[in-house]
Amino acid sequence: MVLRITERAQRALDELHPKHREQVMRRIRQLAAAQRPPLTKIRHDRGELLSYRAGEYRIYLTWDEQTLQIEDIRKRNDAYR
């Protein structure tokens, strides 16, 4: 499985408090290792986007058999606006 992180997601990770950054990175590693993780489909103007919970944060991603691409990371309160 190839893990890709977009520039937008990387900027979001860099802005997080170290404790939250580690929490999100732990969840990303779990995602990469999982066969069928519990992902939530959400509507998005760029097609099918998936969401994964990481405590107070949401990880937005695209997933196929070979690639896991992290599109964005947002705080839960801001994610649904």
Task: Supply the pLDDT for residue 35.
Answer: 78
Residue 6 pLDDT greater than 90, yes or no: yes
When comparing pLDDT for 79 and 12, which is higher? 12
Sign for the CA dihedral angle at 13, 25, 56, 80 comes to positive
pLDDT of residue 14: 96
CA atoms within 13 A on the CB side of 17: 5
Per-residue pLDDT of 14-72, as tens digits, reads: 999 999 999 999 999 999 888 778 888 887 666 778 999 998 999 999 988 888 999 99
CA distance 5 to 61: 9
**pTM for the whole thing?**
0.86
